[in-house]
Amino acid sequence: MRTPISSRRFRRVVSTVRIALWSFVGSIVLVMISERVYWYWAGIGPASLVELPAFYLVAALPALWLLRWLPAREPHQVVLAGALYGFVVEGVLTPVIYADGPLPILAALFVGWHGVLAFVGGWYLVHRWLVERRRRGLVWLSMAAGAVWGGWAAVAALGDPPAEFPAAQPLVPGAFGRYALGVGITFLLAHWLLGFVWPLRRRPTRWSTALIVGVAVVYLAIAVLPAVPWAPAKLAVLVGGILWPARRSRSSVSPVEPPVLDRLAGRVRLRDAAVLLVAPATATTTYGLATWHVPPGGLVVLYWVAVAAQVLGGGVAVVWATRRALAPPRTPGTSKAPSTVGAP
């Protein structure tokens, strides 16, 4: 006779499956920004929905773990988690972040792209506004993101495709529009699905922490160490520079504020998510205007402006978040208004 599974064990299994689905669907959201907006040569297909999200879980899980471990309550803590995501993407999944030696230029660049644009913007801010049904803000955000996306793709069309995409060709606006629409639909559906699998409040366990760190260390040893033996030293400085202020920030935020992950829980309506398609429409328009009317020299200038903006944006974001995290603890309920006691 089979022994029935206890209700407590069943709830634990359901909770674990829900967290796994939430992490995987969130990884799809991040892949759409970190990879498919950047590398349009590969197209949108099964790899974008299965292989790449599974690959990016190595970077997404540490950032999501940090949000729950803090627990994050304010935007600067989300920025720190986004920086951690960017460092793992380019420092563990690939060894790109070590190409400038001990300098932090590439670190700031990838915080700007992966941390600010993908994690803070594409994952956190978009989902928050979807849950809060702030469609007007989403329209303006999508227009800005689409303009950046289309301009970046036009700049990328100037050069040869990467070696891993030998058959790729620069896309005409019509073909790019179909590709951008596929990315946009995948992005909005992933946010919609997140509302169904958002996990209940649960602190990270020692087992889950050891698993996340262990997978990252093993991947680092396989993918990075053979090419860059000194990589752990730089990665330790970068990650330590995020975890230290993040830990300090646990005592510098008001405990009356609900955690970020709890505020993001909730169903997303498809008609609200549909406004995100403004982004691929704007990207297609920008791509067509740039490739048809902007001379190559102007696109080269646009490229370096975009790179400089990412470096500056990433650096400023980390400095701002660190200063906020190290600020003295605020007393709940106090007012910043000057005292009027004794005033005539």
Q: Count other Cβ atoms within 10 Å, centred on residue 111.
A: 33
Number of domains making up the chain: 1
Could you tell me if 63 and 191 are in contact, meaning their C-beta atoms sit under 8 angstroms apart? Answer: no
Least confident of 138-147, 214-223, 277-286, 292-301: 292-301
d(CA 79, CA 86): 10
- The yes-or-no verdict on residue 34 having pLDDT over 80 is yes
In this prediction, residue 4 carries a pLDDT of 54
* Torsion of the alpha carbons at 250, 243, 125 and 107, rounded to the nearest 10: 160
Mean pLDDT, the chain, whole residue set: 86
In this prediction, residue 343 carries a pLDDT of 39
- The yes-or-no verdict on residue 182 having pLDDT over 60 is yes
* 201-236 pLDDT tens trace: 667 777 878 888 898 999 899 989 999 999 999 999
Share of residues in the chain with pLDDT > 70 (%): 89
The first and second tokens of residue 70, run together, are 């803090």
d(CA 118, CA 114): 5
Least confident of 59-68, 149-158, 176-185: 149-158
Residue found under tokens 């999200």 = 53
Structure letter (DSSP) for residue 328: P
Structural domain range at position 230: 15-325
Give me the mean pLDDT over the 160-166 stretch.
Answer: 60
- The yes-or-no verdict on residue 338 having pLDDT over 60 is no
In this prediction, residue 124 carries a pLDDT of 97
Report yes or no on 336 lying in a domain.
no
In this prediction, residue 282 carries a pLDDT of 96
More confident residue, 135 or 12: 135
Residue found under tokens 């995290």 = 325
Report yes or no on 175 lying in a domain.
yes
In this prediction, residue 344 carries a pLDDT of 34
- The yes-or-no verdict on residue 40 having pLDDT over 90 is no
Report yes or no on 7 lying in a domain.
no
Report yes or no on 2 lying in a domain.
no
In this prediction, residue 324 carries a pLDDT of 92
Q: Count other Cβ atoms within 10 Å, centred on residue 93.
A: 18
Report yes or no on 153 lying in a domain.
yes
Report yes or no on 341 lying in a domain.
no
**Confidence class for position 308, pLDDT limits 50, 70, 90:** very high
Q: Count other Cβ atoms within 10 Å, centred on residue 277.
A: 17
d(CA 201, CA 301): 47
d(CA 315, CA 77): 15
- The yes-or-no verdict on residue 37 having pLDDT over 60 is yes
In this prediction, residue 336 carries a pLDDT of 44
In this prediction, residue 128 carries a pLDDT of 95
Report yes or no on 155 lying in a domain.
yes
In this prediction, residue 170 carries a pLDDT of 65
Kind and range of the H or E element at 35?
Answer: none
What backbone torsions phi and psi does residue 328 show, to the nearest 5 degrees? -60, 150
- The yes-or-no verdict on residue 264 having pLDDT over 80 is yes
Structure letter (DSSP) for residue 227: T
Structure letter (DSSP) for residue 257: S
* Torsion of the alpha carbons at 57, 60, 62 and 67, rounded to the nearest 10: -140
Residues whose CB is less than 8 angstroms from the CB of residue 82 and which lie 6 or more positions away in sequence, other chains included: 63, 111, 114, 115, 116, 118, 119, 120, 124, 317
Between helix 173-197 and helix 7-31 the angle, nearest 10°, is: 160
Report yes or no on 10 lying in a domain.
no
More confident residue, 338 or 306: 306
